[in-house]
Amino acid sequence: MRSEISMTVDRGAFPDAVTPWEQESWRAAALDWIEGCLAERGLRADGELRVRLRPWSVLARVPVADGDAVWFKANPRSSAFEGPLTAALARWVPGHVLEPLAVDAARAWSLLPDGGDLFRQVLARETVGPEVWEDLLRQYAGVQRTLTPYAGELERLGVPPARTLDLPEVFDRLLAADTALDPGARARVAAVRPRLVDWCAELAAVGVADTLEHADLHDGQLFRPAPGRFTFFDWGDAAVSHPFCSLRVTGEQVRERYGAQALPRLRDAYLEPWTGAGRPAADLRRAASLAWRLSSLGRAASWSRMFPDPGRPAPGVTQSAEWLLSLLDEPAL
């Protein structure tokens, strides 16, 4: 494969990012693995390999002769769980996620089928109302509910635990590791901790169990293969935490696109699958507001899960600090 395929490399806004792709032996092994996986299915690569390098992943689109392209992904060690997790999700919630063609858990590699149109591509070419976002969140919430009994298994697969009542300890670790906050900002963030403990206790008391939380559910992290159908992918930022934390990223996109007036309906659509069990709607809405704020911790933590660069500070340090600071903001819901 190495001698038969041309390549283009996209480094985006990270021209100096250090990834394993720079190592010739690693790159050769990855290309051989892709070739072998395709051969097992009677397929072969044919065309230009498009490689996307970021501090948090190596992603390559591999064109296939007489078929749809496939996608190779390599995760850093701290999110090596993504391949095994994606394979497990294909068993537990089939039809809602991509089913990997191959996973090498030891090397944190996976080979995935093409999922069709990204929702982002649909948004670029079609007029899409907020009701479509409401529908995708109903479907996503249904996936989360289905996965609730698997929370322990998710952690055994390596998905980071960030249980609701343990979030104060997550906060402590993030603040201790932070090197970007100035002394004044650090003091303001640290002063939030007593209230954070209360928020976590109140959120847990609503009685919605921790489950899989995507942590970065935006329009580039899901496919829309057909109207009314969505496929969720890219689980490298995921954690086992309060499900409602997922509202933050999607909600901010909806607010930017349609205005703040679209958020109450979006929230209520997401909460529909969680009704019942004697939970008043007001309690669920309060829980959504608490989780919106606490989701800052999951976003801060995910920025640290990147390929390490021993010559420089962690590339996500600034972003992690910004998310910690956002704990001081009033939630939009």
State the alpha helices, DSSP H only, in the chain: 24-40, 82-92, 119-125, 130-147, 151-156, 167-177, 183-190, 193-205, 247-258, 263-271, 281-303, 317-325
Mean pLDDT of the 301-325 span: 85
pLDDT grade, residue 316 (50/70/90)? Answer: confident
Q: How far is CA 146 from the centre of its chain?
A: 18
**Token pair in block for residue 297:** 């911790």
Which pLDDT belongs to residue 288?
Answer: 98
List C-alpha distances in Å: 17 to 59, 81, 167, 219, 308: 14, 22, 30, 24, 9
Q: What is the pLDDT of residues 164-177, one digit of tens each?
A: 999 999 999 999 99
Q: Is the per-residue pLDDT at 103 higher than 70?
A: yes
Q: How many residues does the chain have?
A: 333
Which pLDDT belongs to residue 46?
Answer: 93
Q: Is the per-residue pLDDT at 322 higher than 80?
A: yes
Q: Is the per-residue pLDDT at 3 higher than 60?
A: no
Which pLDDT belongs to residue 4?
Answer: 61
With respect to CATH, is domain 7-112 assigned 3.40.50.2300?
no
DSSP lists the bridge partners of residue 306 as none
Q: What is the pLDDT of residues 126-172, one digit of tens each?
A: 999 999 999 999 999 999 999 999 999 999 999 999 999 999 999 99
Q: Is the per-residue pLDDT at 2 higher than 70?
A: no
**Alpha-carbon distance 238 to 79, whole Å?**
9
Q: What residue spans define the domains of the chain?
A: 7-112, 119-327
**Alpha-carbon distance 315 to 323, whole Å?**
14
Which pLDDT belongs to residue 278?
Answer: 86
Which pLDDT belongs to residue 1?
Answer: 59
Q: Is the per-residue pLDDT at 331 higher than 70?
A: yes
Which H or E element spans position 10? strand 7-10
Which pLDDT belongs to residue 315?
Answer: 73
Mean pLDDT of the 180-188 span: 96
Architecture of the domain made up of 119-327: Alpha-Beta Complex (3.90)
pTM above 0.85, yes or no: yes
Let me know if 319 is exposed, middle or buried by CB neighbors in 10 A (0-12, 13-18, 19+). middle
**Alpha-carbon distance 213 to 235, whole Å?**
9
DSSP 237: T
**Alpha-carbon distance 60 to 8, whole Å?**
10
Q: Is the per-residue pLDDT at 211 higher than 70?
A: yes
Q: What is the pLDDT of residues 244-264, one digit of tens each?
A: 999 999 999 999 999 999 999
- Cα separation of the two ends of the chain: 51
Q: What is the pLDDT of residues 30-72, one digit of tens each?
A: 999 999 999 999 999 999 999 999 999 999 999 999 999 999 9
**Alpha-carbon distance 248 to 328, whole Å?**
15
pLDDT grade, residue 276 (50/70/90)? Answer: confident
Which pLDDT belongs to residue 305?
Answer: 82
Mean pLDDT of the 224-253 span: 97
**Is residue 237 within 8 Å of 215, Cβ to Cβ?**
yes
Mean pLDDT of the 291-299 span: 97
**Is residue 310 within 8 Å of 276, Cβ to Cβ?**
no
Q: What percent of the chain has pLDDT over 90?
A: 92
